[in-house]
Structure 1
């Protein structure tokens, strides 16, 4: 089983960027926790500050080798119609995750354009949001 984990802009700076909001763990720490927590899953991790690279990764996931998508779009969550449109064509379980509670922050962060094309959104549980996202995707797969 293979899961694609996409991370958007500035998530490469986790651990350094506003630890009061995003925590002190790095993106590498999150990747390691996923591997340790779900050894039965092969994870492919992609982080990019460029919208087009994330869209390319979504489109490649349509090849049938990826079983589910877990994604933290970062700032693209609130602005990217292009990512939303690419996601609509992807027919695998898709779970959006956020470290912070986007509904308890600035007003512009409350709206998720990308979330409308996902099966669900997990927000506000720190690194556990990623773990919960994988569990949600597994439950969706089990129902098929």
Structure 2
């Protein structure tokens, strides 16, 4: 008789990726790097586990799906790492959802949005994020999860 599945362990945190991040590794690798979203998810899971966290990694190209995930996080997760991608610059609704759930939030961007086109310099999410990490490529997710673990530890 097979063993039943072992339930995941660790403090649950949401890692949420916005539009077009499903194309990582293919779309503008000179800007976003060559790591795929699967690579990023694996990095997030291993980094989270090293800090006693369990990363629930999700991606959507749809604003409402992202907002629903943020609302769900209010009761299912202890913190959020989010790369809102293009919604950083356009979505007050994503910003408001993050503010409403009252969880620690770390915003992450693969590229340095401040060295790019002027319209990318402003992020609505930054105003409600505890921390913003940009320009570190895929490693930025590891930095974000390490910092989120520290925020959770400090708030115990």
TM value normalised by structure 2: 0.89
Give 2:43's match in structure 1, choosing from 16, 21, 33.
Answer: 33
2:63 corresponds to? 51
1:121 aligns with 2:141: no
Structure 1: where are the runs of 5+ without partners?
Answer: none
- Alpha-carbon distance in structure 1 between the residues aligned to 2:145 and 2:63: 23
Do 2:19 and 2:86's aligned partners in 1 also have CA atoms closer than 8 Å? yes
Report the alpha carbon displacement of residue 34 of structure 1 after superposing the two structures with TM.
1.8
Give 2:85's match in structure 1, choosing from 69, 74, 90.
Answer: 74
Count of residues in Structure 1 that have an aligned counterpart in Structure 2: 143
- Alpha-carbon distance in structure 1 between the residues aligned to 2:144 and 2:47: 12
- Alpha-carbon distance in structure 1 between the residues aligned to 2:139 and 2:87: 21
1:42 aligns with 2:43: no
TM value normalised by structure 1: 0.96
Report the alpha carbon displacement of residue 38 of structure 1 after superposing the two structures with TM.
3.0
Q: Deviation per CA, 1:62-89, whole angstroms, max 9, x where unpaired?
A: 11x3011000001000000011111111
Report the alpha carbon displacement of residue 37 of structure 1 after superposing the two structures with TM.
2.6
Aligned pairs (5 A) from 1:1-144: 1-39=11-49, 40-63=52-75, 65-144=76-155
- Alpha-carbon distance in structure 2 between the residues aligned to 1:13 and 1:132: 22
Report the alpha carbon displacement of residue 36 of structure 1 after superposing the two structures with TM.
2.2
